[in-house]
Amino acid sequence: MPKNDAFDFPQDLLDAQLALHETCAAYEQYAATLPWSAEPMAGWEGEKQLHSGFRSGKADSPGYTDEQAAEVARFRARLVELSATVSTHPYWATLDEGVVAARMALKHAHEQPAEA
pLDDT at 2 over 60: no
pLDDT interval class at 1 (50, 70, 90): very low
Distance CA 61, CA 43 (A): 7
Measured CA to CA, the distance from residue 52 to residue 77 in angstroms comes to 43
Rounded-to-integer distance, Cα 101 and Cα 6, Å: 10
High-pLDDT (> 70) share of the chain, %: 91
Beta strand ranges found along the chain (DSSP E): 44-48, 55-58
In 10 A of CB 98, how many CB atoms? 12
The model's pLDDT over 37-69, given as tens digits with 9 standing for 90+, comes to: 999 999 989 888 888 888 889 999 999 999 999
What angle separates helix 11-31 from helix 99-107, to the nearest 10 degrees? 60
